[in-house]
Amino acid sequence: MAKTQTLSLPIRLPDAMQAEALRLLGASRPAINQILMELWPSLDLFAAERTGLAWKQVEKHLVSRSGHGSRQERCEMEQAGRILRAQATRKRVFLSVLPLLSEGLIRPAEGKRPAKKDYRAIKEQVRQLREASEDADAFMAMTNVVEQACNVFLETGSFPTTYEELQRVPVLAVGQLTFAGDDGMHAGQTYRAQIEVSKFCDVTTRQVHEQATLFLKFRAPTAQGKWAWGEWSEPIALPETVFQYLDQGAAPLAPTLREIRSADGSRVAVLDLILQVPAKYVSALEQEKRVLGWDWGVRSLITVSILEQAEGDEPYRQISRPVFLDTGGLDGRQARLRREIDRLKACKERYDTLVSQAVKANAAHQTPLPLHFAHWQEQLLFYETRIKTCWKKYERRNRELAHLASNLLILLALLYDCRLICGENLTTLKTEGRGRGVRGRFRNWRNNTTVRGEVWRVLKYKCHLLGIRARQVEARGTTHTCPHCLTPVKGHHCSGEPSYFLWEWKYAQRLTCHRKASKDQSMTPRPGRTMVPANRSVSQGNLDMVKARLL
């Protein structure tokens, strides 16, 4: 079987198709939510059988139908079945961590400080349960479920005993419909699509241009509520990358139609064009002689080094200088955006307090609402919209940063003829408190953001597409070991006193190697050394036993 990678490319539909597509999503969403609510008590049925399309499994247990037509109902059942299968997997994770749920995971209230989750205790308990498993995704899933259970305890005073107490029915808030239950692009009964690939030459510049064009039509309810076929869309120009993938032999799969709802309430229909792209094979891990090791920096986002396995008993040598990805300019913008979000939240809380006090006084003492009550509600809605807009901008920047970091890692790996990328997984990292000053506060913000998980998500599929291995290593304790003599050390200021700032840490002269180096420069080779040679497992013991020199 050929090795492939599934890619999804969002395409905004033309304005002439927006109303039709939104009507289709508006009719499908209640039907999908009804299926979820009806089959939610039978969630265990979707935990065992996973072969084939999800709609076939849903059809066995579903009693009521939406009446939208055979193929449309299949697509609705396919969308609901995928959600139920994902929730069934998460339920198995909950059952595995259920013995861990106790009050020891909660820090009790002290004075004015309310009770909160003990992140250190949560990580320790999950790490012991996971034992020798090196699956970072499983660790993240367990941690996520335990934290959600702790949130339930903080709200209700008791831990959930069943998954249904932990998770409500995951109904769709916005429309989303997959066409995987239909009969394909050319014979479908819910949608029809055609992709035309063409090459043409510009006479003036004498350059050859390549273009892929999409033609699309839906079977959707009309303005009067009657289901009927719409007209073919105008030619939709696809990105140049789509033509390149199709030219390489990529096969288009069933697309997904979804709705994007902005902060001001406007709705836009987007079609996710899904391609099955051929991927490159990788050589055996025993043949790998070089590894790219990278780590999360303090002053920089990531730090990269290339290691090569030496002949004989010689230690692995570093064949490149450390490369630092400095995102200071973007970090400054993100910090200002986070401060703006905090300011908007404070303003929103002020108006929220005024509205709640007025409503309580009216309900308890029949006090008439103030004259400015309508203005308070308008301001409350205004600040909510502004906060959502800022958060979306913050997330977009993080996604772009994740693509930038992953592209840099892959570029360096290709330049040094390296087919193995190894780094730490700090997706579940949590920093408590607000930090000292503006810099410390934003450092905590950046540590707690989802950019770390986004970098790994993007890096994994890009490496799979290009035939490069991407491996995650255990991050525990790697920062406090000298890479030269493997002596455990602690960070301190240049004067010898304990440092309150992470970027001022360096290794002490009292080490046997008498080495001084910044934290960012010293920690990057360690993840790479844990994966060479191939028979060495990724564990904390290897981080302490493998000896390598920095140039």
pLDDT in tens, 274-327: 999 998 888 787 788 888 988 887 677 888 989 888 776 666 788 888 888 888
Residue 542 and residue 421 share a domain: yes
Query: Which pLDDT belongs to residue 310?
Result: 76
Strand partners, 192: 217
Query: Which pLDDT belongs to residue 240?
Result: 87
Residue 506 and residue 424 share a domain: yes
Residue 233 and residue 110 share a domain: no
The pair of structure tokens assigned to 299 is: 């002053």
For the entire predicted model, the pTM comes to 0.79
Query: Which pLDDT belongs to residue 387?
Result: 94
d(CA 518, CA 426): 20
d(CA 512, CA 514): 6
3-state secondary structure of 263: coil
Domain assignment present for 208? yes
Mean pLDDT by 10 residues, the chain (551 residues): 83 94 95 95 85 89 90 95 93 91 90 86 83 64 90 92 93 94 91 89 81 93 92 92 89 94 88 91 82 82 86 75 86 87 94 93 89 92 93 90 93 92 72 56 59 86 89 67 58 42 41 56 56 39 30 27
Query: Which pLDDT belongs to residue 358?
Result: 93
Q: Are strands 191-202 and 290-296 parallel, antiparallel or unpaired?
A: unpaired
Residues whose CB falls within 8 Å of the CB of residue 34, separated by 6 or more in sequence, listed in order: 64, 66
Buried b (16+ CB within 10 A) or exposed e, 420-446: bbbbbbbbbbeeeeeeeeeebbbbbbb
Residue 488 and residue 459 share a domain: yes
Residue 252 and residue 126 share a domain: no
Domain assignment present for 64? no
The pair of structure tokens assigned to 240 is: 């140049």
Residue 461 and residue 406 share a domain: yes
Residue 262 and residue 127 share a domain: no
Domain assignment present for 454? yes
> What does the DSSP assignment read for 209-245?
EEEEEEEEEEEEE-TTS-EEE-PPPPPEEPPHHHHHH
Residue 282, class by beta-carbon neighbours within 10 Å (0-12 exposed, 13-18 middle, 19+ buried)? middle
Residue 325 and residue 251 share a domain: no
Contact 315, 445 (CB under 8 A): no
Contact 362, 368 (CB under 8 A): yes
**Residue listed under structure tokens 């395409």:** 11
Domain assignment present for 123? yes
Domain span holding position 187: 179-278
Residue 488 and residue 401 share a domain: yes
d(CA 312, CA 308): 13
Query: Which pLDDT belongs to residue 530?
Result: 52
Give the total number of structural domains in the chain. Answer: 3
Query: Which pLDDT belongs to residue 346?
Result: 94
Residue 293 and residue 272 share a domain: no
Q: Which helix (H) or strand (E) holds 290?
A: strand 290-296
Domain assignment present for 38? no
Q: What is the pLDDT of residues 118-162, one digit of tens each?
A: 888 888 888 887 764 556 667 778 888 999 999 999 999 999 999
- Nearest Cα residue to 410 out of 298, 294, 538: 294
Residue 314 and residue 259 share a domain: no
Residues whose CB falls within 8 Å of the CB of residue 142, separated by 6 or more in sequence, listed in order: 93, 96, 97, 126, 129, 130
Query: Which pLDDT belongs to residue 503?
Result: 37
Domain assignment present for 413? yes
Residue 140 and residue 213 share a domain: no
Domain assignment present for 255? yes
Query: Which pLDDT belongs to residue 525?
Result: 58
CATH assignment at residue 542: 3.30.420
Domain assignment present for 272? yes
